[in-house]
A and B are shown apart, each in its own frame.
Chain A
């Protein structure tokens, strides 16, 4: 493998954020992407449900190699069993195979001119306190790579940003603790919808998901608030044990992860350094999904990094945070307000809302459009007060 001595930009991490940043930066600059894992795309920390807009907006082909199932809607199950269902005629999204999807994105970056190297562990290289590149450990070899700019896309751990003096330490309350089994041989209805089970008793501040990958195969996972004493595994195993249709299934894969759901960082940029993706908390705080968000963050960062190199003006990257704020950040802040409301509900209140809200209402909430949805709780004084406080906060 050929890692050169010098690049305009080094991207650390080849997940969806890093590969997308690299692809767009490579339009105007020389780009190296390093990933510490031996295989790009693995291990995944993901339920693998991706909305159709991600494919449309980023021009990703509908390729059978990484698409498992077409998804036409979703069902949210309240604690009392009430189902809020949305089913559309058109495809709303897909359940994908992240291992292959992530490799496709890395391939796309390479075809656009970037160099990608797996099994490469990077740390920052500073001279006189200034960031001048990265040190890379690749297959036992230590290399020094000089670069004008570094983009950290190193995931939820986000150690690179901390090395740069940006405090990205998560508090457990702002993270979801997750585990997921890929199960096969299950008996579950409506395998063209995403299934979501909510309730504080079932999954504190989170939910259980069943995302179909075949007629008899699905990702069955859970996310719970990070400071819950019992483990995510405890809650997921308990959920499965109560459902014979799942209990009969085999386990093909076990995935474990943490999702930063406390809202995105404000401080994305420092000198010639940027943070993108999970490392920058670019995640929808309502459902913890983030493929679309991190790719958007990656595109914005990659575009502006390339432009800064082309114009030899590092100050340009300061605009990254502002651009993010206007294209996505403002909306995600609204979504966080909704989440702050929802997380305070007890199971009785969730059941009550399941009676007055529709599946479409829930969709609007995940997009941060809460005004008309919250108007429906006018007859419940306590919830109305909570909602009002939220809107005014």
Chain B
């Protein structure tokens, strides 16, 4: 699980996520297991808060 900090909860990433890996319930969480690293949410975020690279890096660690 990865929490998105400082999020405005606009829901854009949730709307475009093809695998429903992102949920907004009190806070915004990306489920790393469901995420396929397509990066669509990163494109969609109006303020650039999502960094798919950091999910990939976490994987390597």
> Measuring CB to CB, which residues of chain A are less than 8 angstroms from any residue of chain B?
36, 43, 45, 121, 155-159, 162, 168-172, 175, 177-179, 226-229, 231-234, 254-258, 260
B48 touches A233 (CB 8 A): yes
Interchain CB contact (< 8 A) of B46 among A162, A168, A177: A177
Chain A residue numbers with a CB within 8 Å of B35 are none
Given the known interface contacts A159-B20, A256-B8, A256-B47, the answer about A172 and B14 at a Cβ–Cβ threshold of 8 Å is no
Separation of A206 and B17 alpha carbons in the complex (Å): 22
Chain A residue numbers with a CB within 8 Å of B48 are 231, 233-234
Query: Would you give the 0/1 interface string for B4-21, flagging 1 where the beta carbon is closer than 8 Å to chain A?
Result: 000011111011111010
* Besides A178-B10, A229-B43, 20 other A-B contacts (C-beta < 8 A): A43-B8, A43-B10, A45-B11, A155-B11, A156-B12, A157-B14, A168-B15, A171-B40, A175-B12, A175-B15, A175-B16, A179-B47, A226-B12, A231-B46, A232-B47, A233-B47, A234-B48, A256-B10, A258-B15, A258-B44
Separation of A168 and B46 alpha carbons in the complex (Å): 20
Chosen A-B contacts, 17 in total, with CB atoms closer than 8 Å, are A43-B9, A121-B25, A157-B15, A157-B24, A159-B23, A169-B15, A169-B17, A172-B40, A172-B43, A172-B44, A175-B16, A178-B46, A231-B48, A233-B48, A258-B11, A258-B12, A260-B15
Taking each of B15, B16, B17, B18, which has the highest tally of chain A beta carbons within 10 Å of its own beta carbon? B15
In the complex, B45 has a CB within 8 A of chain A = yes
Chain A residue at smallest Cβ distance from B47: A233
Separation of A242 and B20 alpha carbons in the complex (Å): 39
Chain B residue numbers with a CB within 8 Å of A169 are 15-18
A45 touches B47 (CB 8 A): no
Least Cβ distance of B18 to chain A in Å?
Answer: 6
Taking each of A157, A168, A231, A257, which has the highest tally of chain B beta carbons within 10 Å of its own beta carbon? A157
Taking each of B11, B23, B24, which has the highest tally of chain A beta carbons within 10 Å of its own beta carbon? B11
Least Cβ distance of A343 to chain B in Å?
Answer: 17
Interchain CB contact (< 8 A) of A171 among B14, B16, B24, B46: B16
B8 touches A228 (CB 8 A): no
Separation of A95 and B24 alpha carbons in the complex (Å): 29
- Interface positions of B from 39 to 60, Cβ below 8 Å from A: 40, 43-48
Chain A residue at smallest Cβ distance from B46: A232
Chain B residue numbers with a CB within 8 Å of A229 are 43
Chain B residue at smallest Cβ distance from A236: B46
Interchain CB contact (< 8 A) of A177 among B17, B18, B25, B44: B44
Chain A residue at smallest Cβ distance from B12: A258
A258 touches B24 (CB 8 A): no
